[in-house]
Amino acid sequence: MLTQLKSGITRVCHLLTEYRSAPRRHYNVALTISWRDNRGKIVQAVARCIDISDSGALIEYNQAVAKFSPIRICANEGSLVKTGKVCYCHPAGSAYQIGVEFCDAL
């Protein structure tokens, strides 16, 4: 019973802190990301999209990307192209999880 209570509290806390206007969808595809590093050089790399919504995406990449960096993502041979900004970048094991808010959602 205690396990069920903890699980229920966790779900309620998640619902209370989830402020997205659009639901997230699991995406799990490779995509190309590009941004400017701290020296102004454009960096292009392959990352993995974990989930996506109309307002943003969660991306996993093997290096940190600075918060507030403008970023462009491109998937499915160019059929999905979005621009946005990095809202957060947190270590997650040997990679980083990068939260992106799309510009057209701002």
In the chain, where the domains are located? 22-105
The radius of gyration of the chain from alpha carbons, rounded to an integer in Å, stands at: 15
pLDDT one-digit tens code per residue, 35-76:
998 888 999 999 999 999 989 999 999 999 999 999 999 987
Q: 97: which strand partners?
A: 60, 90
pLDDT one-digit tens code per residue, 46-55:
999 999 998 9
Domain at 22-105, CATH homologous superfamily: predicted glycosyltransferase like domains (2.40.10.220)
Check residues 23 and 21 and name the one with the higher pLDDT: 23
Q: 85: which strand partners?
A: 70, 101
The first and second tokens of residue 6, run together, are 């903890």
Q: To the nearest 10°, the Cα dihedral for 58, 63, 67, 71?
A: -60
Q: Give the global pTM.
A: 0.75
